[in-house]
Structure 1
Amino acid sequence: MLATAAHAAETSALSQVGQYLDLQPVGLPIIVQDRLVNYVFVYVRLNLTRSADLQRLRDKEPAFRDALVRDGHKTPFVLAGDWQKVDEVKLNAALLRDAAAIAGPGMISSVVVTSQSPQRRVMPPRPVAADHP
């Protein structure tokens, strides 16, 4: 009985997924104090509205990636204290704004970072110790 309920819930969730467009991975810089310390490769999904033309938007996939790269270099999505991840909130807001301009209003319902993979494992610098008298 529990298996049947779980299967029904899973089927319902899958039927509500809707249209989406997964972008090819994009390497975004992590720049701290004007120094490149890492690249994080992000996998991004654009959730589309029901009225969106998926094929037309697939043709614009390079434009979405280009906008993401430009935003990531103009104002890096650095997460304070963690140089192995990007700030998903900033990235989502920037790409949602750009996506509306690229796809047209009302085509993209949300942006989701589905995965992040740092190029290198980089630890943040140690705090500078105060001089002792």
Structure 2
Amino acid sequence: MSFLPSRRFVLIALPAGLFASTAHASGGSKTAAEPSVRLASVGIPVIRDRQVVNYLFLSIRINLSMTAPEGKLRELEPMFRDTVIRVSHKISFGQADRHDKLDEPRFKSVMMGEFTKIAGAGNIKSIDILSQSPKKHLG
């Protein structure tokens, strides 16, 4: 005896199957995220005349290339954060005229080179500063 589905089953199951497959396909494209490493919040000093005049607390996302080993690079998040702190004690990344704002272009330029040393050439696409918050605000 062979199994043949009834007409009623086919008429009910076919539209349901089509709906499920289109819902899955559209949901998959929306949830596909760009590969990245998000660093835990990090505080960096702003230095003027060899004195710490403020701290900036940053939230940073490192955007990876599509071929980068995302899992491996996420495991290196503490190294990326350590590099931000270490370099920020050598170079002040506060804006020249304001010590409560980050000089983003300079920060990104320097950190791109430093992060590439950790991640390897061709693995980092860009760096985003998601938020910055100074300890002291200028009035």
Which secondary structure state, in structure 2, belongs to the residue aligned with residue 23 of structure 1?
A: strand
Q: Which amino acid aligns with 2:129?
A: V
Counting strand residues as a fraction of each chain, which structure ranks higher?
Answer: 1
Gaps of 5+ in 2: 1-26
User: Superposition RMSD on alpha carbons, in Å?
Assistant: 1.9
What TM-score does the superposition give when structure 2 sets the normalisation length? 0.74
**Residue 85 (str. 1) matches residue 101 (str. 2):** yes
The match for 1:27 is: 43
- Identity %, equivalent residues: 34
The match for 2:134 is: 118
- Contact 1:38/1:122 (CA < 8 Å) preserved in 2? no
What TM-score does the superposition give when structure 1 sets the normalisation length? 0.77
2:78 to 62, 78, 89: 62
Shift of 1:122: 3.8
Q: Which runs of 4+ in 1 moved over 4 A?
A: 14-17
Larger Cα-atom Rg: 2
Count of residue pairs brought into register by the alignment: 112
Q: 1:52 to 1:100 in 2, by over 3 A?
A: same
Gaps of 5+ in 1: 1-10, 124-133
- Contact 2:53/2:99 (CA < 8 Å) preserved in 1? yes
